[in-house]
Amino acid sequence: MYHRIQLRRRRKSTALAAAAMAIAVALPATPALAEVADSPRADDAAIVLAARQDPGTLDYVKSNLTALRLWVPGNVMEPLVYFNADGTVSPGVAESWEISDDRQTYTFTIRQANFSDGSPITAEDVIYSLEAMSQSPVVSNAAAHHAVEDIEKLDDRTVRVTLSRPSQNFWRGMGDVAGLIQPQAAADQIATKPIGSGPYRITEYVSNSHIAFEANPEYWGEQPEITSVTVRIITDGTAGLNAIEAGEIDASPVNTVDLWEQIVNRGLDEAYRLVTFPQAGEPTYAVVNSNVDHEIRKTIAMTLDRQAFNDAFGAPWGVENTCTFGLPHYPWYEPASEESCPYPYDMEQAMTRIAENGWGDIPLEYASLSDVPDLSLPADLMIPLMQAAGFTVERNAMDLARYSQLIFQGRPPQFDVTIMAGPGEPTQWACSDPQNGGWSTYCSAEYTEALAAADQALSQEEYVKHMKEASAILREDAVIIPIIAKAGVGLYHPDLVGFIEPRVGVAIEFAPMSWQ
């Protein structure tokens, strides 16, 4: 079916329409002409995508930025295995694998294939990659390797990983960034041109401009139909929408809520295909310093009108109210309900508690991340709600670099309340030692034990059970207070098909895409 994109160059459309009418009058209609089945771009082997953020580096071992994880894994770099949306596991760099009954020994048979630079994938490369990840400064990368006791080469194509205990994190990590395989010989170019065995290779990365990909001729699988992909980095949201409206961009796979109004006003939501998917979504949650009294934390939770956040941040984007830290595709996730929300929105009770206990005299510092719209806008809601309940809240706005230093890395963190959106992986809050209490560590021994039990689970049922227990502990303590879970939202040219839900973290895979 030919979908006409009305917003492209109206003058051209008018001229084309006139020409089409002239042809229609001049020629008798034939079945072949009447049934135009393909897009005008059916033979096109190129796509141009828009990205809102510049990664700055492509070194996925050292950097955890979403701007990097969207494009490199799954396209350039491959993990050992792929976890599909339907729960099945597909081969990646590992052609096959065996897992011992006690789930402590994993034996991977390496695919006989080449990296994009023509060098063969070797057992040494696999060992090097896994060991590099175990040393990664990115917590989630290294966490997958915590239980690894030994990695050994059995032969040129076989690697055995021995764990000290069963670990769900290890196995899941082998299908995520923690399991990406690179050639040791090319490791020094990882920041600008990482080499992998995926269907694409990077031809050029120019910071603030673009990342260019081309089909990898060495790829072991079927060559993709789209052979050229350009990810244009357009940091200004309006400029990005202009480019889409002018037809310069074929898809904007990840969009931010602040652009929603413009997207609707320009009719882009109708002219383009809107795709929502949970993997690139993120929970929005309040964080209260654990040093703030538990009763005050509970009261702050009561001031959070989840529906107000939902209304403000675009229900069309697939936003769900929740009191569970995570994303809707996680098996233990629960939407907001009486059972799952110990401190539901109750302004009257919050006001009474504040007045009775004199908490209104305690100044609370709200740390606000000013240069990220997805986070500064929720602050505009949360602060007035807290103030209306009677809290004294002072807003301290700062940019990401300063926020990182004071809030993420501060020990103890230099704030009382803040709001955040980001990865939904609850293991990021694990911490058993209160001395290390900070942003990325929740420091409840009970919570950490529940997560450890989940990690060591031998079955999916057991894993889900322990993760639900962990979620309950988190929400009861009101340090991390989930508000909404947002889905990832992409805008795609209606003729561009083949989008699949991300398999390697949040990565948008190009290979399945084609012009219909």
Partner 1 sequence: MLLHYVLRRLAFFIGAMFIASVLIFVLIRAAGGNVAAVVLGRDASPEAINALATEYGLDRPWAVQYLDWITGMMGGDLGQSFRTGESVADLVVSRLPISVPLAGAGLVLAILIAIPAGTYAARNAGRSSGTLIALISQIGIAVPVFWAGVLLSLLFGVQLGWLPTGGWTPWNVSVLGAIQSLVLPVLALGLVMAASLSRYVRTAVLDVMNQDYVRTARATGMSQTRALLTVGLPNAALPIVTFLGLLIAELIGGTVIIETVFSLPGLSRMILSNVAAREVIVVQSTVMLIIVFVMFVNLVVDLLYGLLDPRIRVAG
Residue 12 engages partner 1 in binding (rule: CB under 8 A): yes
Q: Is 204 helix (H, G, I), strand (E, B) or coil?
A: strand
Selection from 492, 170, 111 nearest residue 500 by Cα: 492
Nearer to partner 1, 60 or 499 (CB): 60
Nearer to partner 1, 352 or 404 (CB): 404
Euclidean distance between CA atoms 6 and 19, whole angstroms: 16
Token code pair at residue 256: 């931010």
Report the residue from 409, 459, 460, 512 that binds partner 1 according to the rule CB under 8 A.
Answer: 409
Euclidean distance between CA atoms 491 and 277, whole angstroms: 12
Q: How far is CA 434 from the centre of its chain?
A: 29
Interface stretch with partner 1, choices 70-78, 157-165, 394-402, 452-460 (CB under 8 A): 394-402
Report the residue from 262, 276, 376, 440 that binds partner 1 according to the rule CB under 8 A.
Answer: 440
- Neighbour count for residue 84 (Cβ, 10 Å): 13
Euclidean distance between CA atoms 227 and 514, whole angstroms: 10
Report the residue from 357, 404, 432, 516 that binds partner 1 according to the rule CB under 8 A.
Answer: 404
Q: Measured between alpha carbons, how far is residue 472 from residues 345, 437, 479 in Å?
A: 18, 20, 12
Nearer to partner 1, 243 or 347 (CB): 243
Interface stretch with partner 1, choices 56-64, 326-334, 359-367, 449-457 (CB under 8 A): 56-64
Q: How far is the CB of 446 from partner 1 (least distance, A)?
A: 21
Selection from 132, 160, 154 nearest residue 145 by Cα: 132
Q: Measured between alpha carbons, how far is residue 311 from residues 31, 335, 343 in Å?
A: 49, 16, 20
Residue 109 engages partner 1 in binding (rule: CB under 8 A): no
Nearer to partner 1, 122 or 182 (CB): 182
Q: Measured between alpha carbons, how far is residue 139 from residues 128, 131, 135, 145, 429 in Å?
A: 18, 14, 10, 10, 10
Amino acid at site 253: P
Q: How far is the CB of 112 from partner 1 (least distance, A)?
A: 33
Report the residue from 166, 423, 494, 498 that binds partner 1 according to the rule CB under 8 A.
Answer: 423
Residue 37 engages partner 1 in binding (rule: CB under 8 A): no
Q: Measured between alpha carbons, how far is residue 179 from residues 192, 215, 292, 293 in Å?
A: 20, 22, 39, 41
| CB of 314 closer than 8 Å to CB of 262 | no
Residue 400 engages partner 1 in binding (rule: CB under 8 A): yes
Residue 347 engages partner 1 in binding (rule: CB under 8 A): no
Nearer to partner 1, 352 or 396 (CB): 396
Question: Containing H/E element for 121?
Answer: none
Residue 408 engages partner 1 in binding (rule: CB under 8 A): yes
Instruction: Please report, as residue ranges, which positions from 239 to 258 form the binding site for partner 1 (by CB under 8 A).
Output: 239, 242-243, 245-248
| CB of 391 closer than 8 Å to CB of 298 | no
Residue 208 engages partner 1 in binding (rule: CB under 8 A): yes
Q: How many residues are present in the chain?
A: 516
Residue 138 engages partner 1 in binding (rule: CB under 8 A): yes
Token code pair at residue 467: 């993760």
Residue 40 engages partner 1 in binding (rule: CB under 8 A): no
Residue 234 engages partner 1 in binding (rule: CB under 8 A): yes
Taking residues 366 to 385 in sequence order and writing x for each that binds partner 1 by CB under 8 A, - otherwise, the string is -----x--------------
Residue 146 engages partner 1 in binding (rule: CB under 8 A): no
Residue 386 engages partner 1 in binding (rule: CB under 8 A): no
| CB of 500 closer than 8 Å to CB of 506 | no
Binding site for partner 1 (CB under 8 A): 7-12, 54, 56-57, 59, 62-65, 137-140, 191-192, 206-210, 232-236, 238-239, 242-243, 245-248, 371, 398-406, 408-409, 411, 420, 422-423, 428, 436, 438-441
